[in-house]
Amino acid sequence: MKVSSSWTTVISPLSVSADTPDPGRWASLAVVLTGAFLAALDFFIVNVSIPAIRTSLKATFAEVQLIIASYGLTYAVLLISGGRLGDIYGRRKMFVWGVVSFTAASLLCGVAPSPIFLIAARALQGVSGALLFPQVLSIIQVTFPLRERATAFGFFGTVIGLSSFAGNAIGGVLVSADVWHLSWRPIFLINLPIGLLTVILAERFVKESSSPKARRLDLGGVAILTFALSLLLYPLIQGRESGWPAWAFICLIAFVPVMIMFVRYERQVTARGGSPLVELSLFHNRVFVTGLCSGVCFFSGAAAFFLISTIFLQNGLGFSARHAGLTFLWFAIAFLSSSLASVRVQPKLGSRIINLGVLFMISGLVGLLWISSLRGAALTSLNLAPILLVYGTGQGFVMPTLINTILMNIKGHDAGSASGVLTTVQQASFATGVAVIGTVFFSALGQISTVEAFVRALRIAFSVNIGLLLITFTLVLQIPRFPAKEQSR
């Protein structure tokens, strides 16, 4: 793609300062967040469309699983590589090519004539998403001065958080509307005009940047890490649906020695003066490491919450896909409000706003367990409204602030590597949470399909969520209230 000559200058990551911020940075933020929203949305939008896809394409249950898994797997395993490519060849360039290929893959998904074709197109979507998504965090990191970075990351967290609700709601509405008798296909075709507009605006508003430290892609590191993440993520994504066969546990066990091999290889690359895929020096940053660990617990529970709640509403209470999706509107309203408010509150509370948000989320889960036990089959969306408002408020406080806290002290030349690590941890946590807590839920449910059985399974599964949130709360207490000020002393 031809790059406009007026934006071809590569800016140094250190050239953005409080005195000379990029005047087009907010327009740039809007553009890259649109691309991030598309990539995150397509994680969730397919779920409510699966019955229509299965009927239309005569897909088997195994093929349906792969339609979902092919996107998540390719997306998650290539995120770090995508971030590194942006460091080397230019973050705007990789973002643009990621959006272009994602749009093309969406078109292929929308016209897919068979399940195998759709699986392959979804895998291509995942590869494209892994190329564009890490650039978003990197561009924010090098474009905004420190005093505005929390606000920019706040908007990022808001967009990603809303994508889970939007996927369920938009998917349910589009499939139910049966636009031009296309059934499920508009859930992919809607990406075309948005993707094309994003590319045009990116060429105009997003400045190019790259890392002077990154010289070439570490192909050995890419191969080892891709293999390691595949060993972790594929059994987590497919294991529960397959009944947890022996191969799933073998893969999970093998993940550990392969990751050890990856770390040793990266140390050798660094010792030779090469450009490693992951800058291991990142893990000398206590805030970064502690933030990642707390993120594992937080993201694992957050992903499982939507899966289990949706199953409870549809299968347990008999809500339609549209009704279940729109029930989470209360969550979306609260999340949007609190995530935007967190930007103004964080300068006063610092990282303790995460602790406050976690307490809101725990209160929401306790309230959900209480009202579901009290009302049983008579539970309505209106009963759930105050619960979802409390839970959504808490998550809105946590997500943007946690992302900002993790990346706050990362230098510009490490932005791509750090962004790739964070987003990979996020997606791996999503898969882990859905697999582990989903297994707890279905094991507790057993073969009984009464409302009482669903309520009991909900109580057991969400007890795990509450435990994860308590660990998150404890870990965040280990992070300085204002990490940037601590580092500057």
Domain ranges within the chain, ordered by starting residue: 20-205, 278-480
The CA–CA distances, whole Å, from 404 to 31, 125, 485 equal 19, 27, 14
10-residue block means of pLDDT along the chain (489 residues)? 34 45 89 94 81 86 81 88 90 96 97 95 95 92 85 86 79 81 91 96 92 79 92 85 88 96 94 86 90 94 86 87 82 90 82 94 96 93 95 93 85 76 88 87 86 94 96 94 62
- What would the two tokens of residue 129 be? 């998403």
Three-class SS state of 183: coil
Given a contact cutoff of 8 angstroms between Cβ atoms, the answer to whether 242 and 248 are in contact is yes
Cβ within 8 Å of residue 332, ≥6 positions away? 162, 165, 166, 169, 392
d(CA 219, CA 242): 32
d(CA 411, CA 424): 19
d(CA 104, CA 36): 16
Residue 412's pLDDT is 66
Q: Determine if the pTM surpasses 0.85.
A: no
Quick one: fold of 20-205? Growth Hormone; Chain: A; (1.20.1250)
Residue 366's pLDDT is 97
Residue 120's pLDDT is 96
Residue 3's pLDDT is 36
- What would the two tokens of residue 143 be? 């474009």
Pick the CATH number of 278-480 from 3.40.50.2300, 1.10.3720.10, 1.20.1250.20, 3.40.50.300: 1.20.1250.20
Residue 432's pLDDT is 87
Domains 20-205 and 278-480 belong to one CATH topology:
yes
d(CA 426, CA 441): 22
d(CA 101, CA 118): 15
d(CA 103, CA 125): 8
Residue 214's pLDDT is 64
Cβ within 8 Å of residue 258, ≥6 positions away? 224, 227, 228, 231
Which among 260, 232, 282 has a CA at the least distance from the CA of 430?
232
Which among 112, 250, 294, 301 has a CA at the least distance from the CA of 188?
112
Looking at residue 422, its amino acid is L
d(CA 240, CA 260): 26
DSSP character string of 438-459? HHHHHHHHTT--SHHHHHHHHH
Which among 426, 363, 418, 350 has a CA at the least distance from the CA of 390?
363
| Dihedral of alpha carbons 260, 265, 268, 273, sign | negative
- What would the two tokens of residue 185 be? 């296909």
